[in-house]
Amino acid sequence: APDLSETSLIGTQAPGAAKHYLPVGCDACHGTGYRGRRAIYEMIPIDKDIRELIKNIDQSAADEVERSITTLSQSAIALYNEGETSKEEILPYLQT
């Protein structure tokens, strides 16, 4: 059964995520339940506006850049919601 504190941590960041994924092993994955690797990453899209903000950085520009960042927890939740990974794999990225 899912741990309620873990489930609530995921639920607070993935509202509406009704599925809970668990790894299921087989011979192809050597019993791990995982095949290959998926990246959990932070991303800052650098467009024309962000480039200008970086060149002329001040506090309001820094705030604008921060708002455009995809965080590690957001990336982890997206992979979880897509069924690409399990809660056990993403929990370290959610506990800040």
pLDDT in tens, the chain (96 residues): 455 566 566 665 555 555 666 778 888 887 888 777 778 888 888 888 888 877 877 777 778 777 888 888 888 888 888 888 888 888 888 865
Q: Say what the pLDDT of residue 19 is.
A: 63
Q: Say what the pLDDT of residue 46 is.
A: 85
**Integer Cα distance of 77 and 79 in angstroms:** 5
Dihedrals φ, ψ of 18, to 5°?
-90, -15
